Amino acid sequence: MKKTFVTKGQLEHIVSQFPTPFHLYDEKGIRARARALKAAFAWNPGFKEYFAVKATPNPFILKILQEEGCGVDCSSLTELMMAKACGFTGEDIMFSSNDTPEEDFRYARSLEATINLDDITHIDFLDSIAGIPELISCRFNPGGYFSIANNIMDNPGDAKYGFTKEQIFEGYKKLQQLGAKRFGLHAFLASNTTTNDYYPELAKILFRLAVELKKETGAQIKFINLSGGVGIPYRPDQDPVDIAVVGEGVRRAFEEVLVPAGMEDVSIYTELGRYMLAPNGCLVTRAIHEKHTYKDYIGLDACAANLMRPAMYGAYHHITVMGKENLPCDHKYDVTGGLCENNDKFAVDRMLPQIDIGDLVVLHDTGAHGFAMGYNYNGKLRSAEILLCEDGNAKLIRRAETPKDYFATFDFTHLFDKI
Ligand SMILES: *Cc1c(COP(=O)(O)O)cnc(C)c1O
C-alpha cells in the first residue's frame, strides 16, 4: 500500500491554516533522498547532483538542496535568475537548454554557469554573443533506439536533443580552437526509468565515448553528466530504484572503462529532478462534488491546471482518501477537475473507497513536474505550495495566485480611459 508522508491529523491541522488545493512537500524526505544519492556516489570525489530546477522551481526547495550540497540545472533565463537569487554561482550552476535564446546564453555566461550545449551550431552562436568559456559541455544523442537487455527504453533517434557522434568530435575540436580547455559530456536517453540498470548502461556509453574523445581530440574531460531520467514507482505495484545499487553499477563501469584509460579523475554529475522530488510532494485537494450519470464522478477543487501529467500523458497518480486508507476500494470513480476539457481527469475507472463531499483527497508523487507544469487555462489560478518542515510545522513557500495575478499582464489603462 502506498502511504502518504503526512498523517490525517497533520493534514487537518495544515488545511485549517491554508485552504485546499495546494502542493505539499516533505523536507525530511527531500533531505533523505539527497543524502542517499550522495552516499551512492561517494566513491567519486567530484560527484555532484545538479537538481533540475524545472521539476520544482521553488527557491525554498532549492535552498534545502543547496544545504545538502547540490547544485542546480537550469533550462531558461528565469531559472538562472532563481538560481542566482538562491546564491548558486559559477560551477554550482549547469545550464542545459535547447533552442536557446541569445539573452539566456549571455546571462548564463555572466553567472559563469557551466554551459551544456545542445547543438553544434550553438558553438558559433555562443561564441558570437558571449564567447566560449574554458569549461564547456556537449550533449550527446546516439540516435536509434536505446535498449537495456533487449528492452527498448526510449527512442533517442526521434528526440530533438543533442549532437550526433560525429558532431561531438567536430564540436570538441572546434571548441578547443575557440579557447575551451576542460570539457563535460552529457546525455539523457530515457525518462522515468525504474530499472537499476539505466545509469550504469548510460555511463558505459558516455565513458567509452569520453575515452575516444580524449584519444582523438586530446580534450581534458572534467565531468560526465548522467543527467536526469531515474524514475519513481508511481503505481503501487512498482518497485523503487535502489540508488545504492545504481551508484555501484556506475562505479563498476567507471573501473572498467575510465580507470584503464587513465581517466580516474573524471567527476560524475547527475541532474535528477523526478527522483529527488516526485515522491516528496503531493497535491492536497478536497472532494467538492459527486455526479452520477453514465459513470460515477468525484469532482475535486483542483484540476489539470494544478497537475497536468494525467491529462497530458495519461500518467498514473495514486490517490489516497484521507482517513479511509483501510476501507475496501469498492467504488469505481472518474476523479475530475473543473476544466472545460474532458481529459481533465486525475483518474479514470479508479477503484477507491466511497468518497464523500468534504473528504481530503491526496494525489501522490506530485513533487516534480507537478506544480511546475501548471497553467492558467480556463482562468484557473495556480495553487499555493507548502513545506512540511522537519520539525512538523507547515510553512507557506509560495502563496496561491489571486485574480490580480491573473490580470497583471493586461494593461487596462486605455479601456478605463474610454469609460
Ligand atoms: C528534465 C531534465 C532533467 C530532469 O529530468 P527528470 O526526469 O526529472 O530526472 C535533467 N536534465 C535535463 C537536461 C532535463 O531536460
Same domain membership, residue 221 and residue 108: yes
**145 domain residue, yes or no:** yes
What is the CATH number for 400? Answer: 2.40.37.10
If one counts the domains in the chain, the total is 2
Please tell me if the CB atom of residue 49 comes closer than 6 angstroms to any atom of ligand 1. no
One digit per residue, the tens of pLDDT, for the chain of length 419 reads 899 999 999 999 999 999 999 999 999 999 999 999 999 999 999 999 999 999 999 999 999 999 999 999 999 999 999 999 999 999 999 999 999 999 999 999 999 999 999 999 999 999 999 999 999 999 999 999 999 988 888 999 999 999 999 999 999 999 999 999 999 999 999 999 999 999 999 999 999 999 999 999 999 999 999 999 999 999 999 999 999 999 999 999 999 999 999 999 999 999 999 999 999 999 999 999 999 999 999 999 999 999 999 999 999 999 999 999 999 999 999 999 999 999 999 999 999 999 999 999 999 999 999 999 999 999 999 999 999 999 999 999 999 999 999 999 998 777 766 65
Backbone Cα Rg of the chain? 23
Domain of 231 in residue numbering reads as 41-272
Distance 202 CA to ligand 1 centre (A): 14
Mutational pocket test of ligand 1: of 75, 192, 271, the residue with most ligand atoms within 8 Å of the beta carbon: 271
- Which amino acid residue places its CA nearest to atom 7 of ligand 1? 229
* Cα separation, 116 vs 73, whole angstroms: 10
* Cα separation, 318 vs 362, whole angstroms: 8
Same domain membership, residue 184 and residue 87: yes
Please state whether the predicted TM-score (pTM) of the whole model is above 0.75: yes
Please tell me if the CB atom of residue 272 comes closer than 6 angstroms to any atom of ligand 1. yes
Distance 303 CA to ligand 1 centre (A): 24
Ligand 1 atom closest to 54 (CA): 1
How does strand 114-117 pair with strand 93-96? parallel
Neighbour count for residue 52 (Cβ, 10 Å): 29
Q: How far is CA 3 from CA 7, 124, 281, 322, 360, in A?
A: 9, 51, 12, 10, 14
Catalytically active residues, by annotation: 340
Among the candidates 252, 272, 292, a domain finishes at: 272
